[in-house]
């Protein structure tokens, strides 16, 4: 399983033009290239002057931003199902690999930019809560009883996640999903543009 995960991470990194080193302890990534002006985003206030592609059309960057927002607004209610269908469920594996590589510990905090409906934040909180429960089980099996200091330390080790996305509808769907899952503690939702 670990070898196939390393292979998957290497292939993903190769596609994203990053150098990946796989080690026994995990995977590390370093950028192997810089953004080129022709393929990267130019940081200028004149978005109306520059053109880009949206599907088969050439539109201004400002128009593209509006259209992308509208697309996600329209698919927000079906986004998770569409993600499963279009990736054949593989997006779930990618997210699991991400958490495995991150290996967050209790007390860690996550800022999920362009977090959409919160899938990664949910996985993150589940992962760190599982890590905390594992630590507690180990302490119990070793015969240690909790002191007031341990209880106080547990409070500080509570993790949190902030899901930030430009699209209010995506965040709304994520909040509803969190409510259905009973996952309200440690989770915040913020409307924001990752490019600004």
pLDDT tens for each residue of 167-180 = 999 999 999 999 99
Neighbours of 136 (CB within 10 A): 15
Q: What is the pLDDT of residue 191?
A: 95
Q: What is the pLDDT of residue 66?
A: 86
Mean pLDDT, residues 119-144:
87
Q: What is the pLDDT of residue 108?
A: 94
Q: What is the pLDDT of residue 149?
A: 67
Residue 95: pLDDT above 90? yes
Q: What is the DSSP letter of 77?
A: G
Nearest to 35 by CA among 17, 21, 55, 15: 17
How much is the pTM?
0.66
């Amino acid at each position: 399983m670990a070898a196939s995960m390393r292979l998957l991470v290497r292939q993903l990194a190769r596609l994203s033009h990053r150098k990946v080193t796989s080690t026994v302890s995990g995977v590390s990534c370093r950028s192997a290239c810089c953004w080129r002006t022709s393929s990267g985003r130019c940081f200028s206030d004149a978005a109306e002057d520059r053109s880009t592609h949206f599907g088969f059309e050439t539109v201004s960057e400002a128009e593209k931003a509006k259209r992308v927002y509208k697309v996600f607004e329209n698919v927000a209610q079906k986004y998770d199902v569409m993600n499963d269908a279009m990736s054949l469920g593989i997006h779930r594996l990618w997210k699991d690999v991400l958490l495995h590589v991150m290996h967050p510990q209790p007390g860690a905090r996550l800022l999920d930019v362009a977090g959409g409906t919160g899938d990664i934040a949910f996985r993150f909180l589940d992962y760190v809560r599982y890590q905390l429960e594992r630590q507690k089980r180990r302490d119990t099996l070793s015969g240690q009883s909790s002191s007031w200091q341990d209880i106080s330390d547990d409070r500080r080790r509570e993790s949190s996640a902030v899901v930030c996305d430009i699209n209010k509808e995506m965040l709304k769907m994520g909040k509803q999903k969190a409510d259905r899952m009973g996952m309200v503690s440690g989770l915040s939702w913020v409307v924001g543009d990752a490019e600004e």
